[in-house]
Amino acid sequence: MATRMILRRVIQKRTVLFPLSLSTSRKGSTLVVAEHEHEGGAIKPSSLSALFAATCLPDNDSSVSLLLAGSGPSLHQAASLAASSHPSISQVLVADSDTFKSPLAEPWAKLVHLVQQKGGYSHIVAASNSFGKNVMPRAAALLDVSPVTDVTAISDSLTFVRPIYAGNALCTVRYTGASPCILTIRSTSFPVSQKSVDSKSNKASISRVDLSTFDEDLGKSMYISQTSQDDERPDLGNARVVITGGRALKSAENFKLIENLANKLGAAVGATRAAVDAGFVPNDLQVGQTGKIVAPELYMAFGVSGAIQHLAGMRDSKVIVAVNNDADAPIFQVSDYGLVGDLFEVIPELLEKLPEKK
């Protein structure tokens, strides 16, 4: 909430004085490195958050270019979707090559480098997800600049807030180096409203990235496969409600209780490191400093003690509910509503008494 308020203030105060280092160069222009779905070509929600963050940069002159890469019809579908549906995009750059079919860091970082050399952007923004974290620091090294990762608020065009020490401190950093300023942003801090992406008035130009000078340097890394859970539930990072289970669930079998409750509430399922390490659920459900960062409207934690590293991933949730049989568990220090009790009694009762969700 606080972040959102700061942001709103930042957006209103577009007349901030810019540091000298930038005022000597031309107006800022921003490149957003985006991912799209391989079916349908929709821009991924995390990339839309990055786009929103880019529009929050005060000296931005509303000149945002979106970089899409891949091959096949979904890429071009994505480009035309992006060009016509997002008013803040002035240009869509398309890199069409089989090299970019998979999200390998080596070609992607080189692509960002190439596009930057041609476009001379003042900022490059991507989401701080596993793709952005993998690619952007590598691209930054190629450009010889320090990236700022996991940005949660933008103070001015070169000053950003990012959490350190598992979110137990907030660090305001100023980028003083040469262009571009490279950012990865925490998606939950830049929530995308449906309104801002639905306007159809805009029609940005689409241009192809000239890859004739692209040095593919093939054979260094190869994409083999991706295994993912087919999941009917909402995506953990964007869910409105998240139900999380910890070690106290005791087994993968018992974890079904959490899943049942999630189904009833239309919620995403999360887990602590203990629950993942014990094999109750796959690793991509881990919430915390090293897992996913979530900020849903309602976060319900069952059998979660509330270690520093777990709190790092959920402390910005709007309402936190904790159910634990240990009244001294640290989770109760951050919960809005705590219930001291046995989750094996509480969850069935909740399942019975909660109103049905569509």
Partner 1 sequence: MKIMVAVKRVIDYAVKIRVKPDKTGVVTQNVKMSMNPFCEIALEEALRIRESGLASEVVAVSMGPSQCIDTLRTGLAMGADRGIHVEANYSLYPLSVAKILKKLVEIEKPRLLILGKQAIDDDCNQTGQMIAGLLNWPQGTFASKVVLDKEKQVATVDREVDDGIETVCLNLPAVITTDLRLNQPRYATLPNIMKAKSKPIKKFTPEELNVEIKSDLEIVEVTEPPKRKSGVIVSSVDELIDKLKHEANVI
For the CB of residue 220, give the shortest distance to partner 1 in the complex, in Å: 4
- Answer yes or no whether residue 177 interacts with partner 1 by CB under 8 A: yes
For the CB of residue 31, give the shortest distance to partner 1 in the complex, in Å: 18
145 touches 178 (CB < 8 A) = yes
Using CA atoms, how far apart are residues 355 and 338, in angstroms rounded to an integer?
20
- Answer yes or no whether residue 343 interacts with partner 1 by CB under 8 A: no
Sheet holding 89-96, edge to edge: 148-151, 181-185, 123-127, 30-33, 64-70, 89-96, 205-208
- Answer yes or no whether residue 153 interacts with partner 1 by CB under 8 A: no
For the CB of residue 102, give the shortest distance to partner 1 in the complex, in Å: 8
Single out the residue of 23, 176, 205, 207 in contact with partner 1 (rule: CB under 8 A): 176
Count interface residues toward partner 1 (CB under 8 A).
93
Residues 270-299 that bind partner 1 (CB under 8 A): 273, 276-277, 282-284, 289-290, 292, 297-298
- Answer yes or no whether residue 245 interacts with partner 1 by CB under 8 A: no
- Answer yes or no whether residue 63 interacts with partner 1 by CB under 8 A: no
Would you call 157 helix, strand, or coil by DSSP?
coil
- Answer yes or no whether residue 78 interacts with partner 1 by CB under 8 A: no
CA distances in angstroms from 5 to 189, 190, 198, 202, listed in the order given: 11, 11, 23, 27
Q: Mask of contacts with partner 1, 305-324, x by CB under 8 A?
A: ---xx-----x--xxxx---
- Pick the closer one to partner 1 by CB: 6 or 206: 6
- Nearest C-alpha neighbor of 204 from the set 63, 27, 300, 322: 63
Cα 87 off chain centre by:
21
Element housing 40 (H / E): none
Torsion angle of C-alpha atoms 234, 311, 48, 227, degrees rounded to 10? -50
Q: Which stretch binds partner 1 (CB under 8 A): 55-63, 81-89, 194-202, 213-221?
A: 213-221
Residues 118-137 that bind partner 1 (CB under 8 A): 129-131, 133-137
Q: Which residues are annotated as a binding site for FAD?
A: 247, 272-273, 286-290, 303-310, 324
